[in-house]
Chain A
Amino acid sequence: MSLINKTKEFTIISDVITSKSNIIDIGCSDGSLIEYLKLNNNVVARGMEIDQSKIRTCLSKGISVVEGDADTDLFDYPDNLFDYSILTYTLQATKNPKVVLEQLVRIAGKAIVSFPNFGHWSIAMSLFFNREMPVNSTLDYSWYETPNLHFCTINDFINLCEGLNIKIEKKADLRKSVFKEFKGKSLYDSYFSESGLFLISKK
């Protein structure tokens, strides 16, 4: 799963990250985002990943990576150890997204989070007309085999952040591939964004 496409996602994230900052990519896969950010933003980075072979790929690339799980292993890090924590397309697969979000903004000054928008019009259509769980480019699993546990809409995410006293600083405009100042809920996004990509921090 990726957000629209990887290159686009990487560019948007790279644009918002201050150069030479210290980051952690949770669910870093084969470390390609970290490599991209090392190259373009000169970051000091490390990853967390659950898949053994991907961990070994990271090690061979010289990327520091810890075998771990967003749900249980973020507690190990002290407050504000990182400038940015990054969690792309994983929030919906965590057991406790609320706790994970709190940890993300605890261990880093800012967090970058992306997730599929369950409020997208095509999903609503699929449910409304076909009475079937949606399968599309961002939700590419059938209901019986999906690792996703907690779907949310962009509005749900905004509500949760408010409840957790988390400030949404920026929201990505996926059409223009840029982060923009967050100005509250938008009707357009909630219907037409396949994904949400946010820059958040502790209030």
Chain B
Amino acid sequence: MEENKIVELSSKERPLLLDCGKSLGPVKIAYTTYGNLNEQKSNAILICHALTGDQYVASQHPITKKEGWWSNVVGPNKSIDTNKFFVICPNIIGGCMGSTGPKEIDPLTQKEFGLNFPVITISDMVKAQKLLIDYLSIKKLFCVTGGSMGGMLVLEWLSKFPEYVHSAIPIATSVNHSAQNIALNELARQSIMADPDWQSGNYYGTDRQPTKGLSVARMAAHISYLSKESLHQKFGRNLQDKNELDYSFKADFQIESYLRHQGISFVDRFDANSYLYITRAMDYFDITVKNNGSLVEAFKNTKSKVLCISFTSDWLYPTSENKKIVKTLNALGIDVSFLEIETENGHDSFLLDEPEFFDALNGFISSTWREI
């Protein structure tokens, strides 16, 4: 059974307090659920989406009409089996698929938030997700999982609400953003803000949308999701629908055409301001900050069973970053497993058809479920 819902959690009187000092209330959360919550409410799996993901984890996307971004993992008899588990996937706050974010109406002004939306953090996103879990009366999530930025949310759950997490699978992620990560995000933000159609974030309801800037931002980001090897294998130096160079700046190479397509198709489904806010939240993420600069301190109350997964060709959130998590959890004596999947598909591997990855997820989830 699949359901799409939007709930209003927190209120003007009891707002969600944010790390920046401001507050949000009411907070809307758009979420999708699959399967049924059992009587003991012990079979819930929370899936945290990545930067440009959304709640349509295993169902057709309303705009692109494509199947869900993790439909190879989530579904009946898949690694996250919706026959057994109650899967919850909320759109993060700051997002643009129905949860409170910059393109939603600010109750104060009755106009879109735009840049009046407060700067949010990964921790704020998790606090909002916690409101949803409370609303669903779930006291313990059987598993919290997600890749990339979703993995950061998983780590935040482990650190902030350890008693709510029975098991966790952070995938291809990091305990904080490296200078290189921040640099790539800044490149994306600057390309959005350099687009005159961005209009200082006040483009809603106008006939000018920052599609060029957002498109370039997506192109740059997309390169970071792939590996040199996979780009070479897919495209090489092949020309696009031609046999000779054009001696122009048209998309001569297949890779150019591919990236342009990635950029253009992205703007239909994503909000430029959301992109600014979410990348900012990722850059600000450093789980040690509220824990005296200590990773051990950040996870000291964690009791969950954890599986960390990285991918060999991921240079955005490389194995070394994921191993920091493993090392810390080991030092604390936490029940942690770790696996580095061999693949040439780069950071995007967690979204692709990787049988060994699916097998590891399935093995961990099924055996952990048997132990309950």
Contacts and interface: CB of A to CB of B under 8 A. Distances in A.
A46 B326 CA distance: 13
Interface in B315-372: 326-327, 330-331, 333, 335-342, 356, 359-360, 362-364, 366-368, 370-371
Chain A: interface size category: 20 to 34
A81 B333 contact: yes
A55 B362 contact: no
Contact of A52 (B356, B366, B371): B356
Given A61-B367, A64-B335, A67-B339, A56 B330 contact: no
B338 A62 contact: no
A108 to B, nearest CB: 12
Interface in A46-76: 46, 52, 55-68, 76
Contact of A56 (B356, B368, B370): B356
Chain B, interface SS category: helix
Contacts of B368: 62
Nearest to A82: B333
A63 B307 CA distance: 11
B305 interface: yes
A66 B336 contact: yes
Nearest to A48: B338
A77 interface: yes
A65 B368 CA distance: 13
Contacts of A64: 305, 335-337
A78 B342 contact: no
B363 A60 contact: yes
Interface size class of B (residues with CB under 8 A): 20 to 34
Contacts of B341: 52
A56 B359 contact: yes
B338 A56 contact: no
Given A62-B368, A62-B371, A81-B333, A52 B339 contact: yes
21 contacts: A46-B337, A52-B339, A52-B341, A52-B342, A55-B339, A56-B363, A59-B307, A59-B337, A59-B360, A59-B364, A60-B363, A60-B364, A60-B366, A60-B367, A61-B367, A64-B335, A65-B338, A66-B336, A68-B338, A76-B330, A78-B331
Given A56-B363, A62-B367, 15 more contacts: A46-B337, A56-B359, A59-B307, A59-B360, A59-B363, A59-B364, A60-B363, A60-B366, A63-B367, A64-B336, A66-B326, A66-B337, A67-B340, A68-B338, A76-B330
Interface of A: 46, 52, 55-68, 76-78, 81
Interface of B: 305, 307, 326-327, 330-331, 333, 335-342, 356, 359-360, 362-364, 366-368, 370-371
